[in-house]
Every structure is written in C-alpha cells, then in structure tokens.
Homo-oligomer: A and B are copies of this chain.
C-alpha cells in the first residue's frame, strides 16, 4: 500500500523552512512522504547578503541557494525537493510550467497541500504562488486533462504562516505541535546562512505559537504542554465523522 503524502509549495528557496519546516519533519516522522516544490531559488529578491558581496553572477546565486535548500530539506528528512526555476521578483509560470505542476500533483497524490497566504502586498510572488496552486489543483482534478491519468482528489490546502501575518489577512485555524521535531527545524533554519536575521525571529514565532496551542487545547485548565508549534489556515471545509 502507498504511503500517505503531502506537497509543499515554496515560492522561493527558503520559504518552506521558516513557514512549515516543522510540519514537513513531523509528517515524515509519521510515515508521510513530503515533497517540496521550490518555484524559484529566490535568487533576486531574497539573496541580499550574496549580492551585497558584489560581482556575484545569477547562476552562482541560484546554485548557492539551491544547495542551502537541499541541505535544509535533508535536515527535515523531506522525501523529495523539486526546483522549477521559474524566476523571482517576479515569479512567472507559463502554460508548460503549469502543466508540469499538474503532473507533479497527480504523481504525488498529496493528502494535503501547503502554500502561501492568499494576500501579500509586500511580496506579490507569494500570492501568485497560491493562485497557481488553486489553478493547478483544479486542472489536476479534471477527467479531461490528459485522460487516462489518475486524477487528483480534493486535498486540503493549508496556508502556512506569512511574515507580518496581520497585514496578509491570514488567520490560523489549526495549530500543529512540532516540539518533537524542533531540533530538525532549527537545524534546517541554520542552513539559511544568507538570512541569519530570521533565525531568532522564527524561533520566537514557534515558541509563541506553542503558547497558542496550550491555550486552545485547555487554557487555564491545563492545555497540552507544547513547546514549539506552527499555525496554518485551512482553506476548504473538513469532512468528519465526529466533531
């Protein structure tokens, strides 16, 4: 029987680390195969430290960023990491790229998908990524697209935590306890040598989301003792047999 699987969309090379590194590591631990798609390397917009050194070439920056992302994915134990190299600032997908993503969606048959917030006035690549996810998810569900292939079901789409959450209209409705894999996430974070200023930031985030986990799982009556957590916004309704 097939293992359960999940698919993570990362607009730029490092996004998956800060925003859902814990979810990746945790689900691998639970027997999932988690595949990461990096739509771009974040070579232009999120590699300031490299460019500031001067004389850097685009190919070189991409290569360094790719290497960092691979190392981080490895620390998290991810099943696979795929680089689409669609460019960044701005990120753009033509029809061929969209069909490639559809192909991956059908191959992976994810139980759930992770992507960026729907809105982000600071970074239009982020919101474009989630538009792409919704469009390709729809195509992958169509019986008439490459008839004969196994179509995609209706996987949940979780939006992971953006930077400056309130400005993005992002509201978490799920908290995931990632305490048991925190060390892996922290190691993955430390692979991102170009963005040291974010290491402490996202450690703070994880600690504070754990506080929210404790409150929502019991509050003053004694919630579950999470130390590190991640928040997600589920886009589609859940289907359950028990509330």
Please pick, from B145, B175, B221, the residue contacting A151 in the complex, using a CB distance under 8 A: B221
Nearest CB on B from A119, distance (A): 10
Q: How many identical subunits does the complex contain?
A: 6
By the criterion of a CB under 8 Å from any partner CB, how many residues of chain A are at the interface?
91
Interface set, chain A 191-205, CB cutoff 8 A to B = 197, 200-201, 204-205
List residues 134-190 of chain A with CB under 8 A from any CB of chain B. 134-135, 138-139, 141-145, 147-148, 151-154, 156-158, 163-167, 170-177
Interface residues of A (CB under 8 A from B): 6, 23, 26-27, 30, 43-45, 47-48, 51-52, 54, 56, 58, 61, 88-90, 98, 112, 121-125, 131, 134-135, 138-139, 141-145, 147-148, 151-154, 156-158, 163-167, 170-177, 197, 200-201, 204-205, 207-208, 211-213, 215-224, 226, 231-232, 234-243
